[in-house]
Amino acid sequence: MIVIAGLILAFVLIVLFSNRATRYCRWRADRLGDGPRGRCYRCAACGAVAFTDTGKPPDWCAARPDPRRG
């Protein structure tokens, strides 16, 4: 019984994480893109590019609409 529950859980997790719509952005610093607009970050999941003045990665996902960004 425990084996069957484990297999069902593994299947659900694979389905959930294999869907691109459920992935969040994973920001990576791109030092070659740094400039007057700030530090450049590129998303490893969707390829979006963002600039920040704080030196920290963005806290929003470019693949999904962000209500804070209007």
* Residues in CB range of 29: below 8 A, 6 or more apart: 39, 40, 41, 57
Instruction: Determine, yes or no, domain membership for 16.
Output: no
Q: How many domains are contained in the chain?
A: 1
Question: Beta-carbon neighbour count of residue 25 at 10 Å?
Answer: 22
Instruction: Determine, yes or no, domain membership for 56.
Output: yes
Domain that holds residue 51: 25-70
pLDDT digits (tens, 9 = 90+) for 5-26: 889 988 887 776 665 554 577 8
Model pTM above 0.75: no
Instruction: Determine, yes or no, domain membership for 2.
Output: no
Mean pLDDT of the 53-64 span = 79
Instruction: Determine, yes or no, domain membership for 70.
Output: yes
Instruction: Determine, yes or no, domain membership for 69.
Output: yes
